[in-house]
Structures are given as C-alpha cells and as structure tokens.
Structure 1
C-alpha cells in the first residue's frame, strides 16, 4: 500500500429515480443496490465499498429525497440528513433529461446547511444532446457553489472513471477500512431481501411498491448438501387486495417473483437456492414505528 493511500466516505443524494443505485452498482461492478423505475426504491443507507491500489471509497446510497407521506417517509428523510453530516464528500445526482424541480431546490437548501464539499453529477447524459448540457450546468452553477460538475451515464459507464479519479484526488489520506474483496457492509440476508423486493417493484402495479417489506425468516445451507441454500422469506403488505395482486392468478405472480429473485440470489451467493415466499398483510405498517426495525429499517448505524 503506498504512503498516500486515500480513503473516505461519500454520500450519493438526489431526487427519487435519478439513478443513484445504478451509479453505485456501476462503480462497484456488481448488484448491491436495487434498481427500479419507481421512486423510493432505496430505503436504507446502502454502504458500498470501492477499493483500488490508490484508495478506498465507502459510498452511502441515500433514499431519494421526497416530501414524506408516512412515518417511514420521515425516517427516510432523516437518514439523508444524517448521511450529509457524516461524510467527507457529497455527490448530488440529477437527471439530465429532467428539468430542475422543487425536489432539486429542496435538496440544494439542505446542502446549504452542511460544510461538506459537493459534486454535481449530471446523470443520464446518454438521453440528451451534448449541446443541452451547458445550459443545465449554468443553471445549477447559479444555485450553488459546487466543488466539481461531472456529467456521466451511470447505466453505460460513460465518464464514471473520471468521477472516480476526481473523488480519490479529493479524499484525505487514510486507512483501508474494509478488506479489498468486500463490496458492502450489509449482511447477505439484507441484500437477499432487497433482491426479492426489487422483483416485486418490477412486476407489480403502482399501488404495491411502497407498501411492501421483505423479511428473511430463515437462510441456511441445507443439511447434507453444501451446494444448496434454503431461504424462507415473508413479503409484508398493507392490504388484502395487495396480497391478491402479489399472489396473482393461480399463484402466477408469486411464481414469477420467486423465479426472478432466485436467479439473482444464486448469482450473489454462488450456489443453488431453494426460495420459499409467503405473503402476509400487516395493516398500515408504514406508520407503525415499532415495526420498522423488524422490517430492516434503521435510522442509526
């Protein structure tokens, strides 16, 4: 390890659906944060670890900032505010194909309250003409003194290397916090639950996404077969009608969720998986704070 090894913590912040999880997965090179075209996909601060010969960066992928409509929403916004205070650098991600909105202005107001350097990362540049970037840069420059402005395409990987070089240049000298082969500090159970939740988001209608939580009841290697992991998971939702949608006609939706989730989980674990899914109704759980911890939501580390 050279004497000028860099390390530090970087928060990724932005409106829902600007590509925060996509960027993190592109940087780390494997799927640790779930992706969906529906807002509020990320609910926890997902820590991802990038390690190179030059340094180590620990990323916090914060929930998309939004006007909260439930106690869970309040908790998610509190996570964002906490993240901004505990990092060395902030990446404010915007979507090049979306106009500046109230959500972006709300985030900029939050950024004024912290002294941490902020990079403006303009994502989804593959969706706009290069000439359209200059007016966007100018508009945001007038609103906040960004340390750097870097356009990228998180999905295609365009300019992501330049972003990483700049981050390593900016971060202080420091130790390697995690082993070089570790990509997240979340336990496998958490990531498995997130992969199941991602499949529900992809496959169900608008009324389902925000009202589900996934709990891994049991996850262990099958006795007598080291190449098979048994996973028992419960999908909680708020209404009986939602349960019906998740089950689907003759259990078809449930089977499809299970099939797609199992494929991703097998890639993650590198082994065969038996996945058993149950659905339970827990009325209005998003407003019951006593359930948050059971369902994997924490407002402190």
Structure 2
C-alpha cells in the first residue's frame, strides 16, 4: 500500500525478489467475495485480514468499489476481492457501475465466496445464484449472521433451501460479528488455490492507495452518521493529501460532494455540528491508518446529479481502469 495507485506490473516487480525463495508448495490466488448488499461481505473480509480495509455500515451499498485485501502467510497468500453488493433496481449510472464492478469479480479468480444471510433469501440472492450457475468456478457459500439463531437446528430448512437454489462445492456457517467460522473459510479456500509464488509482495495488504482508503474512511462516517437518503447522494474527493515533514503530520483536505443544496445543509448540520462530528471520527481512523498525526479539513459542495453522470463518475474514480 502506498500513496499512489500501482499498476499490477509494478506490484509484481516489487515481489519478484521474494518469490525466488518461496517453497514450491506455496499457494496463492484470488477469492471473490460476492452477494447482495448488506450481507456482511466487507466485514468478513476485514476479519479474515485481521484489520479494517473495506468500510462498513448498516446501510446497503456501502461498498462501491472493488477492493483487494491481501492475506499473506509463510505458506499461502489469499487475495480477497471485495465487491459492491449485486442489487436489483436503481437505474442511475452509479448503480450500473456497481453492478458491473461486482460482475467483474468473476474474471480470473480461483474460487467464489457467496455470502448470504442466515434465514433470509431474497430476489437479489436469487439473481446472484443464477449468475453462479453458468460459472466454471468452485463456489463456497458462507451463511453469515448465524449468531442470530440460538438453536442452530432452526437453520436446517434454510440450508436445505440453499442446497436446492445454489450450485455449491461447500457451505460454511459463519458470523463475522462473533468471529465464528473464519478459520474454516481459509482452510476451504486453500483447497482451490494453485501452487505458485505469492502474487503480491508480503508487505502489501491491498492494491489500493492510502489516498483512496482515506476517502473511503470519510465516506464511511457519512454513511454511519446521516439518514437514509443523503449518503447515497454523496461521495468524497480528496483534494490535498501530503505529509508535512516539519510539522510531522498529514495534511488532508477532502471535499464531500452532494447532489442538492438541501443535502449540503444536512451534511453540515446545525451550527456545523454534524460535519465536525464526522471529521473527528474520520480523523481518529486516519491516524490509525497512517500511523501519524493528521490535520483534516472537510468541505461540502453541491454537484448536481453526479451519481447519474458517467463523466463525473469517472472523474471521481468510479471507472473500470483500476485493475488488479
């Protein structure tokens, strides 16, 4: 992870020296984490990595981009591909982008982790299952949030339904919240990873830049703090991201874009209380991410219909040019 996005070629070059000393039994490969919105995909990946990489919130469609989380040990490297939730409806350009990004996760991966919510099967789950029928890839179904059921026997009818609905190679009950079943996921994924040297250098946790992660941290605070409507009409653009050697701190200026003037007032809050609260929360996470002091400034700007403007989306980083 660095201040800038790296091409795959640059990342591979960074790991070439390490690969020569790797055992011939070493395994590495990609595991796509898919499912409908709000089933816990990002939380599962964060727990597998042992650190927070993808942002989370109780609201659906929190994840908007494809993010690679890299889990490296002495014997294997699993690259988890976290994706936006596959969803029905939503005709804006950003919805099209998110669904396209989610679908692209199937390309060149070794195994698929299909996350569903224990006891709940929706039309969106059904749509994802239908896509899996045509894939020549191993599928591991992760039944998340099993901690909601005190009597696990109550899950049997649901699991039976899953076996009829989904073409799968394995099923694992998990709870990202309670950290149940995580080691089982890793063991099952390794059954399908090829023997090959690590794809990324062992000090990489993601192929995304710290600048990108900083914007995501701020957007998470928007998702968690604001009501139902505003977060979906907002995004974050980092305008300044630099380290001041003299002061020994990061200087970060971020622009919160909303689609309507009324949303701007909501984000700012009465006497600026809400934006101050979000800034304080984001700064704490940024200090943890950057391991240094942080000076964060937030502004809010109206950019009408940015979420339905393909050109505006591309300029804000919502494009297909970020490859692994």
TM over 0.5: yes
Choose from 164, 171, 174 the match for 1:142: 164
Does the alignment pair 1:91 with 2:109?
A: no
Tell me how far 1:223 sits from its aligned partner: 4.3
Cα displacement string for residues 56-113 of structure 1 (whole angstroms, at most 9, x for unaligned residues) = 011111101112331110111111111112211110000114x211011110111122
SS at match of 1:232: strand
1:72 aligned partner: 94
1:207 aligned partner: 229
2:216 aligned partner: 194
Aligned counterparts of 2:31 and 2:267: Cα–Cα separation in 1: 36
Does the alignment pair 1:52 with 2:73?
A: yes
Cα displacement string for residues 244-269 of structure 1 (whole angstroms, at most 9, x for unaligned residues) = 00000000001000000000000000
Q: TM-score by structure 2 length?
A: 0.90
Tell me how far 1:169 sits from its aligned partner: 2.3
Q: Which runs of 4+ in 1 moved over 4 A?
A: none
Choose from 32, 48, 71 the match for 1:11: 32
More contact order relative to length (CA 8 Å, sep ≥ 6): 2
**1:60·1:83 contact (CA, 8 Å) conserved in 2?**
yes
Aligned counterparts of 2:226 and 2:166: Cα–Cα separation in 1: 39
1:152 aligned partner: 174
Tell me how far 1:20 sits from its aligned partner: 0.5
Matches within 5 A, 1:108-123: 108-123=129-144
1:38 aligned partner: 59
Aligned counterparts of 1:125 and 1:117: Cα–Cα separation in 2: 23
Aligned counterparts of 2:316 and 2:157: Cα–Cα separation in 1: 43
**2:110·2:192 contact (CA, 8 Å) conserved in 1?**
no
Aligned counterparts of 1:119 and 1:289: Cα–Cα separation in 2: 34
1:62 aligned partner: 83
**1:14·1:64 contact (CA, 8 Å) conserved in 2?**
yes
Tell me how far 1:117 sits from its aligned partner: 1.1
Choose from 273, 282, 300 the match for 1:261: 282
Q: TM-score by structure 1 length?
A: 0.97
Unmatched runs of 5 consecutive residues or more in structure 1: none
Aligned counterparts of 1:62 and 1:132: Cα–Cα separation in 2: 30
